[in-house]
Structure 1
């Protein structure tokens, strides 16, 4: 089913969103990170809706799309829920039943460039190099997000929870394996947590954990 409405672009820092003017839980019967196919005017793309609580969601909009539309006025939006994103997954040789590998240990790796923390997490989970992950993810420095990580985990057949757990400032007990989002002064940082240890090149302040995605092992 396609959902159509008009809405203005919403800017938060350097990112742009479109607020969906109805409750996704009630209208679409979906929760978590919902994959959708979107059309903003004549510009089509796929993404995962960003949950804002109680069934309220935002559509993330890339700058390449923002630059092609009038951001000062309401614009026509249409989207439909899909089974999964296809930017990467449409030609994946892996499945949940036959993933790239069984995660029974993590080998710590580093990378000489800044801004690739998410790609490093995926590299450690898959056993591939960071350069291979960058090519598959189609994401460069500072371009990683939870939605992009989930898309790549699905590509490699790595099982994970269907939603991100946000800590809301509370102390939490992390699962045996998860990708953690940590607040920092400049940009938030992704780190891999496995069986009581952060596999990271920087010190992790557990009080600054924003949220995490559990990896099922």
Structure 2
């Protein structure tokens, strides 16, 4: 996981940052390839971007409604208006950085990337 990506000014580019981390590319490359700029990454566009980068994923988000869940080994998390990445016990967030503790009340849904 290239944590250097998280050291860039990425406000409004949370989904693009997740894709960049997974694809080991730059956020700017993801924006260019997906034609999805600041504050533009919707759930539908996230699925499209994953497909463009050939990142396998479940067909649907799994909705949690703020309940504590056991997350798959690798998944994308959706909070209200924000995406972050979970891989092997660590959370990657373009705003907060990398951390191991998470407030599951913020979690709306997750997308399994281990399929």
Q: Normalising by structure 1, what TM-score? A: 0.47
Shift of 1:128: 0.6
After superposition, the C-alpha distances for 1:65-84 in whole angstroms (9 at most, x for unaligned) are xxxxxxxxxxxxxxxxxxxx
Q: Given the alignment of the two structures, is residue 154 of structure 1 paired with residue 51 of structure 2, yes or no?
A: yes
- The equivalent position to 1:145 in structure 2, one of 42, 52, 57, is 42
Cross-structure match for 1:212: 110
Shift of 1:113: 3.5
Extract unaligned runs of 5+ from structure 1: 1-105
Shift of 1:115: 0.1
Runs of 4+, deviation exceeding 4 Å: none
Residue 57 of structure 2 aligns to a residue whose secondary structure is coil
Cross-structure match for 1:114: 11
Structure 2 CA distance for partners of 1:196 and 1:113, relative to 1, 3 Å? closer
* Count of residues in correspondence between the two structures: 108
Cα distance between partner residues in 1 of 2:109 and 2:77: 6
Cross-structure match for 2:89: 196
Is the CA contact 2:73–2:86 (under 8 Å) kept in the aligned structure 1?
yes
Structure of larger gyration radius: 1
Cross-structure match for 1:78: none
Shift of 1:107: 2.0
Cα distance between partner residues in 1 of 2:18 and 2:52: 15
- The equivalent position to 2:75 in structure 1, one of 143, 160, 178, is 178
**Cα RMSD between the aligned structures?**
1.5
Structure with more helix by fraction: 2
Whose relative contact order is higher, 1 or 2, with alpha carbons under 8 Å and at least 6 apart?
2
- The equivalent position to 1:126 in structure 2, one of 15, 23, 42, is 23
Is the CA contact 2:14–2:84 (under 8 Å) kept in the aligned structure 1?
yes
Shift of 1:160: 0.4
Cα distance between partner residues in 2 of 1:113 and 1:165: 26
Cα distance between partner residues in 1 of 2:22 and 2:16: 10
Cα distance between partner residues in 1 of 2:17 and 2:110: 16
Q: Given the alignment of the two structures, is residue 135 of structure 1 paired with residue 32 of structure 2, yes or no?
A: yes
